[in-house]
Chains A and B, each alone.
Chain A
């Protein structure tokens, strides 16, 4: 086998509308930022090739529109996620308070095999706004919440200035990869259908 298929890692970004999910993704994948607010319609994704420990991976990063009810996106969106990124705006308390809901909803919808150890990453975005003066959620408070949920890695970013975005996604990719590899070891319950269908296909006239 000359060419080996490249591992695909699926990452899902969740958080309230306007916190900067789309901006973070664009900053990371395209190195671009726009001040214009453009509501994400439904769901969309971007892909990025990442190198990690001499291997090449494809990150498939899914973005959602926060104003939508989760259910409307359906399970397809969540299926096979390897890492979930929870984003809030450090200048908006409510977006922080909602992190718990987003986390719970993710666990319900994606129903990962091992919810306790499923990799999340939390991002507090928009640290640049007003030079940090309009900030309402302290780093301490955010870290305390992350610690209480099984030591979720925490990053503070500015999608606008590109601060810490690369770093956050490195950890996202790393944790997704760890999850993806554990998944590969798992073998689903097997049903020996292939061989019987093969027989069926041969024993026929027409």
Chain B
């Protein structure tokens, strides 16, 4: 199944450090990561149709290391937008989180807006990336939606990847695509069918109570599967939003341009008043070795260990490297060097 895809080293490291949670809430199974200081209001990442909680691993590693709490989820198996709003609310209650900041890409951005519309008191800010306001385009393009439950998995997999531009790509975009394709392989037929149903379930985002000044739009300016005119509608809907576009990065800039995305996310969080707690950084140990951090006690021990670490007192809030992360962040920085696309 994995074919020639080789798992990135930083992802292996991530998996060794950050526990994956799987819990049933109500009738839904939730699969998510939750990392960083628990009393900081979290940034919750909502993936697109071809994503899982794992696609944001680079954000989780980098931002949690800066003292932010980052949660990323798999879209649970819900079949329409009401169900999404209810399920997500139950999820937040279950993990005891009240006020949230949402970072949604593609379908995730749409779901983030819907949640902000229907649960305005919970959503403090939005980062919207390559997303849309309504599903009519997608339902028109998928007349076979009513039989989605009968469609073989391989067709569904192919379908969730439509619109994603086929090669040739520069290496970092190619790698991001490989990563996402490998994630799609892990999805079950029902996962896929429910996401496709969500995409075509007739719905549109109504007016938000959230002020535009609490919204950042982070589109990629080169290409992506969401048609430009749908992305433009988002920009027009929130004229006072911050435009934090990236020159390029394709469909999955959180994987292909992680340092830029992370910088914009930090700028957004700072602007909307989320205070990072760098003192409480949950440990990524310098050597990357040692036991699992999935155990609560272990984690606390890590925290203590890192307090005394090499953290620079005067580190500016947006410093992109930190001595604590050791190899991991070095890898990012070297990636960055290579990926400069000139």
Contact = CB atoms under 8 A, between A and B. Distances in A.
Interface of A: 1-8, 10, 41-45, 47, 58, 60, 65, 68, 71-77, 79-80, 110-113, 183, 186, 188-198, 200-206
A79 B172 CA distance: 14
B170 interface: yes
Interface string B308-319: 000000011111
Interface stretch (B15-23, B152-160, B207-215, B294-302): B152-160
A124 B319 CA distance: 28
Q: Which of B174, B188, B244, B315: most chain A Cβ within 10 A?
A: B174
Nearest to A111: B340
6 closest A-B pairs by beta carbon, nearest first, are A194-B167, A74-B320, A42-B318, A190-B168, A76-B259, A193-B174
Interface string B16-33: 000000000000000000
A3 B4 contact: no
B153 A76 contact: no
A5 B315 contact: no
A76 B337 contact: no
A45 B318 CA distance: 13
B221 A204 contact: no
A191 B247 contact: no
Contacts of A72: 315-316, 318-321
A2 B229 contact: yes
Q: Which of A6, A47, A72: most chain B Cβ within 10 A?
A: A72
Contacts of B4: 196
B83 interface: no
A80 B257 CA distance: 11
B3 A200 contact: yes
A4 B228 contact: yes
Contact of A68 (B178, B188, B229, B316): B316
A5 B267 CA distance: 24
B260 A79 contact: yes
A186 B247 CA distance: 14
Contacts of A71: 321
A191 B168 contact: yes
A205 B260 CA distance: 36
A5 B231 CA distance: 10
B318 A202 contact: no
7 contacts: A6-B221, A10-B247, A43-B267, A194-B165, A201-B184, A202-B157, A202-B158
Contact of A74 (B161, B221, B333): B333
Nearest to A192: B167
Given A75-B336, A193-B169, A194-B166, A113 B3 contact: no
Given A74-B259, A183-B342, A192 B168 contact: yes
Nearest to B223: A5
A204 B188 CA distance: 11
Contacts of B117: none
A80 B232 contact: no
A74 B169 contact: no
B319 A74 contact: yes
B171 interface: yes
A34 B318 CA distance: 24
Nearest to B260: A76
Given A76-B259, A76-B336, A191-B168, A204 B154 contact: yes
A43 B270 CA distance: 11
B139 interface: no
A194 B341 contact: no
A59 B161 CA distance: 32
B135 interface: no
Contacts of A193: 167-169, 174-175, 177-178
A204 B342 CA distance: 37
B1 interface: yes
B221 A8 contact: yes
